[in-house]
Amino acid sequence: MRTFEQARESQADHLALTLGAAPGPICDLDLVEQIKAILEPFRGGDSRILLDCRRPGVRARLLCGDAWRVQPRDALLKQLRRLLGNEAVSVCYQRGTLPTMPAEPERPRAARLTVVR
C-alpha cells in the first residue's frame, strides 16, 4: 500500500505557484531566489513547476524547464505554503493542462559589435 505522499508523487502533473497575489509577498527577484532555495532539495522528480507571476498591471505564466522538475513531497509543499500562502500553492493532477514549450526557431547569428575606447 502506498502512502498519500507516494500517490501524489506518482500522479501529480505539476505544481502551480502564484507569486505576487495579495496577501502574499511581492513578486520580485528576492522572492524568486527564496523559491529556488526551497525547490533545490526536491529537484529530480517528475512534477513540473508553473509560476503565475503577478505585479500591478502585469501578469506572466512561466513554465520552468525540466531541470526544475520536483518531487512534490509534504515538506516541499509546507515550505512553499509558508512562504507564499496556502492559496498560492496547488498540486495539479490533470495532465495536458500546461502550455507547451515551443521549439526555438533557428535564428541567423547576428554580427557582433565591439566597443573600443
- Check: CB of residue 68 under 8 Å from CB of residue 6: no
3-state secondary structure labels for all residues of the chain: CCCHHHHHHHHCCEEEEEECCCCCCCCCHHHHHHHHHHHHHHEEEEEEEEEEEEECCEEEEEECCHHHCECCCHHHHHHHHHHHCHHHEEEECCCCCCCCCCCCCCCCCCCCCCCCC
pLDDT score of 106: 54
Scanning the structure block, which residue is given the C-alpha cell 513547476?
Answer: 49
pLDDT score of 3: 78
The answer, as to whether pTM is greater than 0.85, is: no
d(CA 26, CA 54): 8
Residue 14: what residue type?
H
d(CA 65, CA 3): 28
pLDDT score of 20: 85
- Check: CB of residue 27 under 8 Å from CB of residue 85: no
pLDDT in tens, the chain (117 residues): 877 676 677 778 899 999 987 777 788 888 889 999 999 999 999 999 999 988 888 888 888 999 999 999 999 999 999 999 999 999 998 776 665 545 545 555 555 554 554
